[in-house]
Amino acid sequence: MLELYAPEEAWEELQSRRRLYYDSYTAVFSGEHRELARTAAPGSFWSRGGKVKLHVPAAADIAATAASLLFGEEPRFSVYDRAEGRTQEESQARLDAVVGGCGLMQKLHEAAEACAAAGDVFLKTRYDRERLDMPEIQVVRGEDALPEYRMGQLMCIHFFTLLRADSRTGRAWRVYERYEPGRIIAAVYCGDGQRLGASDPETLAALGLESECVTPVKRLLAAHVVNMKPSRVWKGEDKGRSDFEGMRDLMDSLDEIYTSWLRDIRLAKSRLIVPAEFLRRNAGDLFREGAYTYDFDEDVETLVALDIGGDGVEQKITPSQFSIRAAEHAATYEATLRAIVSMAGYSPQTFGLDIEGSAQSGTARRMMEKKSLATNAKKQHYWKAPLEAFLTAVMQLDKALYGNAGLDEHDCVRVELHEPEVADPAGTAGAMQLLRQAQAASTGTLVRMLHPDWQQAQVTEETERILAENGEKKA
């Protein structure tokens, strides 16, 4: 078995991945102009000079939409006993408490958005028996951690967290953690923007961290989730594919189109070309002979001074306004945006394109958004297994630390991810009416069908209310 990376080796490998993969997609996701220019390909829009450049946040919109499709509806988390083949009711209450207490849904939305942008994301748990009453879950972006696999098995994950950066000296302190099954190794390094630097044991002690910690459970207390596979540009089993992979040129072109469109609007502002004498002279030049200077009033942006006076020249005001190529820009912009969305694996209709303002049934909308639903289903397969393994480790850790009704050796957490709902009230009502007429479903089943997100208490209350209004007896 090959030895695991040392911290310095892991840092160098991660830096290489940032340069070759992460930086380009992180730039279009964040929209920072400096990063867009730094990571742009030679000859592209962002690599060229120019004072006014606009960025269209299409990448951020794609990532946010991907997260909404995945976790727009809360998954169902349940404790399952694999030995007896049944659900563990005793531990379910504690699982619900942990899910709500650690803000798991907010973490999953954050992780899904970062995963769509970078191609992968990491989840890790921390615990402090004295300060916390349950394990804490953290999200780590793909560019801040390095996984190590051996024959398809995740052996460990190297995490690098920026602790402090001194802008005056250029020094940077980073917390290094290596999560292995049953063990966590930690250190603090003092370097700079590029180098990891030397170990700093004093800062590690000041943070209250141990250089090596044996965890109460034997499982890996972290997870690596990939967005999709395979990556088109990165060979290897340990890297997912960003939703933006292969689209940096198109996204730069979209920015160029939008910048050109806004430039047309600026140039086409209505202006009046007038002789300089028509403008207001600077107060300090009123008693001077010869050349004059003139004040430009910001509230009168339509006036432009030209030196066109002289004999034989007619003193007049000439209006000037260029045409705006709005239709051409709009068509090019929409075509480029449609290509970006489609290459990312989504239907244009998901982003409000090609809907033409027409109302459609749920069946028609589902057909139009078939590509988005298929991409989301593919992502669910990559999320399910690592998320279940991670939550199982979290619940076992919770029981070991606090003695709660957590998970035993044969228990595991099951995660059921829901398919995005395409609302079709008319279709749902028709199906419910047919089931009612055929006496094939109870009132409670129909209420649950209409409100799949309701808790059992809400379903029961609504069922009793309907039966009371209809004069029927409760079964």
What count of other Cβ atoms lies within 10 Å of the Cβ of residue 53? 17
Condensed to tens digits (0 to 9), the pLDDT of residues 340-396 reads 999 999 998 888 776 665 545 445 455 668 889 999 999 999 999 999 999 999 999
Mean pLDDT in residue range 196-204: 93
Rounded CA gap, 232 and 316, in Å?
Answer: 64
Interacting residues of 427 by C-beta distance below 8 A, sequence separation 6+? 361, 362, 363
* Alpha-carbon Rg for the chain in angstroms: 31
Q: What pLDDT score does 355 carry?
A: 63
Rounded CA gap, 288 and 164, in Å?
Answer: 60
Condensed to tens digits (0 to 9), the pLDDT of residues 65-100 reads 999 999 988 999 988 876 665 556 778 888 898 999
Q: What pLDDT score does 107 carry?
A: 96
What count of other Cβ atoms lies within 10 Å of the Cβ of residue 246? 13
Rounded CA gap, 75 and 92, in Å?
Answer: 14
Reading the block at residue 164, the tokens are 């402090």
pLDDT tier for residue 423 given thresholds of 50, 70 and 90 = very low
Q: Scan for tokens 């003092």, then name that residue.
A: 190
Q: What pLDDT score does 402 carry?
A: 84
For 19, 128, 146, 179, 464, the CA distances from 131, given in Å and listed in that order, are: 38, 5, 29, 21, 45
Mean pLDDT in residue range 443-462: 74
Please report, for the chain, the start and end positions of each structural domain, with discontinuous segments joined by +: 7-35+85-242+380-409, 269-321, 425-469
Condensed to tens digits (0 to 9), the pLDDT of residues 269-306 reads 766 666 666 565 565 665 566 566 665 555 555 556 55
Q: What pLDDT score does 177 carry?
A: 96
CB 237 within 8 A of CB 117: no
pLDDT tier for residue 332 given thresholds of 50, 70 and 90 = very high
442 vs 186, more confident: 186
Condensed to tens digits (0 to 9), the pLDDT of residues 110-129 reads 999 999 999 999 999 988 88
**CA 206 distance to own-chain centroid:** 34
Quick check: 307 pLDDT over 80? no
Quick check: 147 pLDDT over 60? yes
Reading the block at residue 191, the tokens are 């370097």
Condensed to tens digits (0 to 9), the pLDDT of residues 222-267 reads 999 999 998 888 877 788 999 999 999 999 999 999 998 888 887 7
CA geometry: angle at 320 spanning 316 and 321, to 5°? Answer: 160
Q: What pLDDT score does 359 carry?
A: 47
- Strand pairing of 212-214 and 222-226? unpaired
